[in-house]
């Protein structure tokens, strides 16, 4: 799995717009070859993260609220010949892993997509865990990413308040609807 620079910016910005509430949206991407760790590799590239603004959200939930607007988004993306490959949502002070409620929501979401004529053989769900970091000394503005075996952790410091920053851990999961199985996958980015 590869996240482009533009997609990463959209993900981080949408999560930090309201860091005390969950947010979410669609992931748009395509399968292609990319150089990852010096090798040309077949992978799914995530190009766009489209934040769904007509949703209900709080500290421990996120879900689309306006079904007509939600369906318009899906139809518009389809009409533009882009592929919705999954969704993303944030967690607040939790972990970048799927909860049981997340898994139930995803299974329902995939069923809803099939009702719209969108065949889903595999679905991607990205979870972004947001943690506020308080510093005792002023921090210069900085953005860094560290890659782990399967996750990415991005740190944003000194944005508006030089004593506050955010740590965002990204985890991505494949969902196979036929087998009703979830599997964490490795993530790479710019």
Q: Is 107 part of a structural domain of the chain?
A: yes
Number of domains comprising the chain:
1
Contacts of 115 (CB under 8 A, 6+ apart): none
Q: Over 70: is that where the pLDDT of 100 sits?
A: yes
pTM above 0.85, yes or no: yes
Q: Domain residues for 9? A: 2-127+173-185
Mean pLDDT lowest among 11-25, 58-72, 105-119: 58-72
Q: Is 79 part of a structural domain of the chain?
A: yes
pLDDT of residue 9: 92
Average pLDDT value for residue range 72-95:
87
Q: How confident is the model at residue 61 (pLDDT cuts 50, 70, 90)?
A: low
Q: What is the pLDDT of residues 130-188, one digit of tens each?
A: 999 999 999 899 999 999 989 999 999 988 889 999 999 999 999 988 888 899 998 88
What is d(CA 44, CA 85) in angstroms, rounded to the nearest whole number? 9
Task: Return the CATH number at 76.
Answer: 3.40.140
């Amino acid at each position: 799995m590869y996240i482009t620079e533009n997609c990463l910016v959209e993900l981080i910005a949408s999560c930090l717009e309201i860091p005390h509430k969950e947010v979410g949206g669609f992931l748009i991407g395509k399968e292609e070859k990319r150089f990852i760790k010096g090798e040309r590799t077949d992978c799914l590239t995530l190009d766009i993260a489209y934040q769904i603004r007509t949703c209900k959200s709080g500290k421990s939930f996120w879900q689309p609220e306006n079904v007509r607007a939600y369906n318009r988004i899906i139809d518009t993306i389809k009409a533009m010949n882009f592929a919705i490959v999954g969704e993303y949502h944030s967690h607040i002070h939790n972990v970048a892993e799927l909860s049981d409620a997340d898994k139930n929501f995803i299974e329902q979401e995939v069923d809803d997509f099939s009702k719209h004529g969108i065949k889903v053989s595999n679905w991607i769900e990205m979870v972004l865990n947001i943690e506020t970091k308080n510093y005792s000394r002023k921090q210069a503005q900085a953005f860094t990413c560290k890659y782990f075996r399967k996750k990415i952790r991005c740190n944003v410091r000194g944005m508006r308040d030089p004593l506050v920053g955010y740590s965002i851990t990204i985890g991505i999961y494949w969902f196979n609807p036929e087998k009703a199985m979830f599997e964490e996958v490795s993530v790479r980015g710019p």
